[in-house]
Amino acid sequence: MRAWIWALIALAFAVRVWGLAHNLPYRTYIEEDEFVYTALKYGTGDLNPHWFFHPPLYTYALFSLYGLYYLAGTAAGWFAGPRDLVLQYIVDPSAFYVIARGLSALLVVPTLLALAALVRRLYAARVGLMACAFLAVMPLGVWYAHFGCTEPLVMLFAVLAALCSARVMEGGGLRWSLLAGAAAGLTAGSKYIGAVAIALPVVAHLAAPGGRRPRRMAASLAAAAAAFLAACPQIVLSPREFLDNIMLLASQPISVGEYGWVEPTNLHVEFARYYMPRGMGTALTWLSIAGVLLLWLRRRRGDILIAVVPTLFYAVIGFSRLYYDRYMIVCYPFFAIAAAALVDAVASRCRRRAAAAAIICGAVAAQSLVESVRRVAVLVLPDTSFIAAEWIRERLPADARLLVDVVPVPMNEESIAREQALKIGSPRSPYGYRELSGFFFDLQREAARGRKAFDVSRILHPRGFHMVDDGKGYEEEWMTPELMREMLDDLARYDYAVVSDHKAWRYGRREELPERFRFMNDFYRTIGSRGTLVATFAPVEGESQGTVYFVYRLDAAPEKNQRARDRAAAASDGGLRRPSASTARTR
């Protein structure tokens, strides 16, 4: 049986490590950059992340790994000092992302080992093998293991909390009570939604031999609180800053932009209908739901321990105003166990129990594996934003002035200084942990010297819109709507505009937008008539992925260095006529 577990671990690790350096150094997961830079920032001696949308435990782990990388690099002669380490991050951050992603992929090993040990204690080794098979190939677990993010760490601590709680339920001593509480606290310290894991030691103590054991339960809960404080000490050290961040996070009713234009009316239904099949595969989703129902109907002690976390999560998330599919990842190990328990129960009614279980488990896991492979195969393709950025760098003149929407075009020193001044005066500046010292921008300007870079003005879009007070609030990001409008009203300042169809879609329903953002609809609706389209970068099946990007030469731009622009236009036209596999085809 151990050989099969290790075979599953090898499969899980292989599918996670495949394409780990995808699209670096340009494209990252939405919060991956925040995690990586925050971890590096601790090297200044300030261990306060000044950003609490996620607890800092994961960034502390990254900081430790980057410390080892720095020591190894210093010994090898790569770094003369800490400044060189951060400068490498700005010039080419690939190594830092690979380290973070490598940690995410590697965490599947202890997670599956702990899961097998947990299920072996509660059920049987064969059930543990099936649970490991299900968890190893769950699409969302595989997906997030390709990024530097908190989700793999949350799953590990959730399984450890359940394993220690199982020992408590068997009559284990005070040590297991403390370990169960500490693991539950670290689950919450990895991601706030992980707080549902606190139900594990509570249920374990209630079901333990000899009654409720109130003192041990109290000790376990105290250990959970202590572990969470150790993971996020700013609750005590900077309570006002922490609370302000949490209130901002809690006040974000995202109904426009991130999730389209219609807010789901029932999140309980939405998670079962959409998020769970997307995260686990359709077959495994319904098998897991039926498995949780079976566990509650059987009501054995071990069954309740496994069923309580997904049930509690499901009850809580239905009333949340902020929701992402990744929130449910804390439940995935328990869904895997529930599904395995159901398969075992069904197979027990067959004459050939082992064969029946293997067939059902194999068919369900295969469907999830195929979906995981399909997603990763797309993920590792070049992103159209990266292709557009390379085309701009190679084809446009160095003195070109660009208005850029998302595409990571290299910025010259003047552009960096201009953006620094904008951010210092922005409403979000109190949360600008990067810009407080100016160190980040200083190194950005240093990295820009000696390379081809452009005069770039970036449209700093909000990630979502507050639906209160006409769109005012944190989600304006660095740029207020008024600053955005000022930037877009005078297109004569730019030679080229680079825009995406995703942003055009985002602002497409003018009547749905807060009044202060409706000018963005006007911009995207009219940009085609205000310039000449010189290049289009669209995803090509099997060759590239991402959204569609358009490069316009703005007709209103003043005649500056006309000869250079004419050469760039000729090169652009040639590129349109002769698309190659290394670039996204135009349409």
The DSSP annotation for 192-242 comes to GGGGGGGHHHHHHHHHSTTS--HHHHHHHHHHHHHHHHHH-THHHHSHHHH
Q: What is the pLDDT of residues 519-558, one digit of tens each?
A: 888 899 888 888 899 999 999 998 999 899 999 999 754 4
Give the tokens for residue 527. 């940009």
25 belongs to a structural domain? no
Is the pLDDT confidence value at 306 over 60? yes
Q: Is residue 405 domain-shared with residue 347, that is, in the same domain?
A: no
One domain for residues 477 and 449: yes
Domain C-terminal end among 379, 405, 430? 379
**pLDDT confidence of residue 430:** 53
Using an 8 Å Cβ cutoff, are 547 and 504 in contact? Answer: no
How much is the pLDDT for 528? Answer: 87
Is the pLDDT at 66 greater than 50? The verdict is yes
Residue 205 lies in a domain: yes
Same domain, 374 and 409: no
Q: How many CB atoms lie within 10 A of CB 357?
A: 22
Do 368 and 394 belong together in one domain? no
Q: For the chain, what is the mean pLDDT?
A: 83
Q: Is 587 or 512 the better-scoring residue by pLDDT? A: 512
Longest dimension (CA), the chain: 88
Shared domain check, 521 and 430: yes
Domain stops at, among 354, 379, 404: 379
Output the pTM of the full model.
Answer: 0.86
Q: Are residues 350 and 457 in the same domain?
A: no
Specify if 128 maps to a domain.
yes
- 394 in the same domain as 360: no
Greatest mean pLDDT among 29-43, 326-340, 513-527 lies in 326-340
The pLDDT > 70 percentage for the chain reads 84
197-239 residue pLDDT tens = 999 999 999 988 876 678 899 999 999 999 999 999 999 998 9
Instruction: Check residue 425 and give its pLDDT.
Output: 61
Does residue 361 form part of some domain?
A: yes
Of the residues 325, 346, 379, the one at which a domain ends: 379
State which residues form the domain around 176: 2-20+104-379
Residues 212 and 325 in one domain: yes
**Which long-range contacts does 406-410 make (Cβ < 8 Å, 24+ apart)?**
406/459, 406/461, 406/500, 406/502, 406/503, 406/549, 407/498, 407/500, 407/549, 408/26, 408/27, 409/454, 409/456, 409/498, 410/448, 410/451, 410/452, 410/453, 410/454, 410/456
* Rounded distance between C-alpha atoms, residue 29 and residue 550, angstroms: 22
Same domain, 389 and 411: yes
> CA-CA distances (angstroms) from residue 570 to 159, 422, 534, 554, 555?
59, 35, 9, 15, 16
Query: Domains in the chain: how many in total?
Result: 2
Task: Find residue 456's DSSP bridge partners.
Answer: 402
User: Is the pLDDT assigned to residue 586 strictly greater than 70?
Assistant: no
413 and 461 co-located in one domain: yes
pLDDT on residue 505: 81
Say what the pLDDT of residue 4 is.
92
- Which residues, 6 or more positions from 149, have their beta carbon under 8 angstroms from its beta carbon? 29, 31, 32, 35, 58, 104, 326
Domain-located, residue 36: no
pLDDT 10s digits, 480-497 = 777 788 888 888 889 999
Kindly state whether residues 432 and 463 are assigned to the same domain: yes
Domain-embedded: residue 155: yes
Classify residue 126: in a domain, yes or no: yes
Q: Tell me the per-residue pLDDT of 88-104, one tens digit each, with 9 for 90 and over.
A: 888 888 999 999 999 99
d(CA 338, CA 154): 19
Q: Is residue 357 part of a domain?
A: yes
What per-residue confidence (pLDDT) applies to 27? 63
Give residue 473's pLDDT. 43
Looking at the fold, whether 448 and 536 belong to one and the same domain comes out as: yes
281-305 confidence digits (pLDDT tens): 899 999 999 999 999 998 888 899 9
